[in-house]
Structure 1
Amino acid sequence: MTLADKILAFNHTLHLEEAHLPPSVQVLYPYINLNSPIIDSITRQFYNKYYADDFQRRMIIGINPGRHGAGLTGIPFTDTKRLEECCGITVDNFQCHEPSSVFVYRMIAAFGGVKEFYQQYYFTSVCPLGFVKVQPNGKELNYNYYDDKAFFQRIKPFIVEKLQEQLSWGFDRNKAFCLGTGKNFEFVNQLNNEFHFFDELIPLEHPRYVVQYKWKELDNYVQKFVNLLK
C-alpha cells in the first residue's frame, strides 16, 4: 500500500462516539456528510497525486479540521481555490475560502512548490475530526479539542490512538512541527512527553494567527517557516 492508500483508508474509518461530546457540540465528519462523494473524489485526486509512494515524511500537526478548510474539502489547510490554482484539482460543486490556506500555499510556493513540499511533509491534526459549537441562535462556531479540558480528557484516548496509527506508517519521528505556539503546542507537547511520539517538537505560529494578526509581516513568517522546514 502507498501512503495515499493508508491516508484514504484512515480518513474513512474515523468515528467518535457522540457520548464524548459536551452539550451543543457536534462532530465535523468531512469524509461522511452530504458532500461525501465529492470529498471522496477530491481527496483521492489529491492524495494519489502527491502521496502515491512510500517516501518518509515529517508531520506538521494542526489543531483539528475547521469548517471552511479541511472540514469541507477533506484536506488540511486547503480550500477549493488553492485546490484549483495550486494543485490543479477542479471542484465544480461548491466553493470555499479558508484564510489559513492563503498563508500555507504562499509558504509552499516559497518552499519550492506543491510537489516538492508534499514529498517531504504531511499535514495532520492533533484530532483528525473537527467540531462545531451550536449557539442559541443556531450559528455554528469552530470548537477546538482543547477548548474544554474535560472534553480533551474524554477524547484523549481517541487522539492518541489516531496519532499512533498514523505514525505506524513510517513518518520521521526525529522531528515534527506543531502549528500553534500557544495552547496547541502546550497540549501536543504534553502528549509527546507522555507518549514519546517524536524526539523533537518544534512550534510554529498557526497560519490563521499570521493571516489574522500579522498580515503586514506575512512574508517574514513565510521565510521563517521555509527556513525551519528546509
Structure 2
Amino acid sequence: MTTFADRAIPYYHTLTAPTNLPPGLGVMNPYQEPAVQAIVSEFYGKFYNDTTPRVFVLGINPGRFGAGVTGISFTTPQNLDRYCGIANSLLDTGPSRRPELSSRFIYQVVDAFGGAGDFYGRFFLTSLFPLALTKDGKNYNFYDDRLTTDALWPAITEAVRTQTGFGYDRRVAVCLGRKNETYLHRLNDQQGFFDRIVTLDHPRYILQYKAKSVATYLDRYITTLHDCLDAQ
C-alpha cells in the first residue's frame, strides 16, 4: 500500500529550484537541507501515512519565514513545534524567529478545526509554486510580474500535477487569495485538475488589513472547509 506520505516525501527531498528566473529574483530551496528533510519525513509520516484523498488548499508561493524555512506550507518553526508536535533545531536560527502573518492565521484555523491531526487528515496545504521567491530581500509572488509568471508556469503546472498524484479529491479545491484565484482558474482551465474551486481571502491579507475582523474570517474559513467535506 503506497501512502500519501510515500509519494510526498521523495518529491520534496528531490525538489530543485528553477534556473530560468528573471534577473534580480531569488528562490529559497530549504529541501536540500538535512534538517528540513528530517522535518518533511516526520511531518508527512505523522499526518499523511494513509491513502485518504485530501482536499487541496492552495496558496501562492511560500513565504521566506514559513515554508521557506521549514519546508512545510504556512508553517513557521514555532508553529511546527507548538501545533504539530514536531520539535526542530530551526527554532534556534535567526530567520526562524521572524513572525509570519499567514502562518499565524492558518494555525488559528487548524486549531479551530480540531487540531493538526484532524485538519491534515482531511486537507493538504500547498501552493501553486512550491518554493519561496524573494526580491530586494522581501517576499515576492510568482504573479507580481509577467516575466516571472511566464517563466514559472511550466513548473507550476508540473508541481500541481505531481502533488495531485499524492492522493487528492478532485471534486473541490480551496484557493487562498483573490488574485491567486485568477491563476488557479487559468491552470485548471488548461489542465482540468479540479471540478470546482472555492476561494477564501489570503491569510496575510486578513491579518494585515482586516485584523479587527479576524473572528469573522476564521468562521468563514471553518464553514468553507466543512462545506467542502460535506460536498464529497
TM-score (norm 2): 0.91
* Structure 1 unpaired stretches of 5+: none
Question: Partner of 1:125 in structure 2?
Answer: 127
Question: Partner of 1:17 in structure 2?
Answer: 18
Question: Partner of 1:112 in structure 2?
Answer: 114
The yes-or-no answer on 1:189 pairing with 2:190 is no
CA distance in 2, matches of 1:166, 1:88: 24
- SS of residue paired to 1:66: coil
* 1:81-160 alignment, distance < 5 Å: 81-92=78-89, 93-94=92-93, 95-96=96-97, 97-133=99-135, 135=136, 140-160=137-157
The yes-or-no answer on 1:67 pairing with 2:72 is no
CA distance in 1, matches of 2:69, 2:24: 20
Question: Partner of 2:224 in structure 1?
Answer: 228
Question: Partner of 2:30 in structure 1?
Answer: 30
- SS of residue paired to 1:173: strand
In the TM superposition, what is the alpha-carbon distance from 1:5 to its structure 2 partner? 2.1
Equivalent of residue 51 in structure 2, options 54, 70, 95: 54
Cα deviation digits, residues 135-173 of structure 1 (max 9, x gap): 3xxxx1111111111221122111111211111233001
Question: Partner of 2:213 in structure 1?
Answer: 217
Cα deviation digits, residues 184-204 of structure 1 (max 9, x gap): 111111111121111101111
Matched residues, number: 220
CA contact (8 A) 2:56 2:123 kept: yes
CA distance in 2, matches of 1:98, 1:5: 29
CA distance in 2, matches of 1:22, 1:162: 19
1:30 partner amino acid: P
In the TM superposition, what is the alpha-carbon distance from 1:17 to its structure 2 partner? 3.4
In the TM superposition, what is the alpha-carbon distance from 1:88 to its structure 2 partner? 1.2
The yes-or-no answer on 1:172 pairing with 2:148 is no
CA distance in 1, matches of 2:180, 2:133: 15
1:10 partner amino acid: Y
- Identity across the alignment (%): 40
* Structure 2 unpaired stretches of 5+: 227-232
CA contact (8 A) 2:22 2:147 kept: no
Cα deviation digits, residues 22-67 of structure 1 (max 9, x gap): 11111110212xxx12111222221111011111110000111110
2:177 partner amino acid: G
CA distance in 2, matches of 1:148, 1:74: 25
In the TM superposition, what is the alpha-carbon distance from 1:108 to its structure 2 partner? 1.1
CA distance in 1, matches of 2:79, 2:169: 27
Aligned-pair RMSD on alpha carbons?
1.3
CA distance in 2, matches of 1:210, 1:7: 29
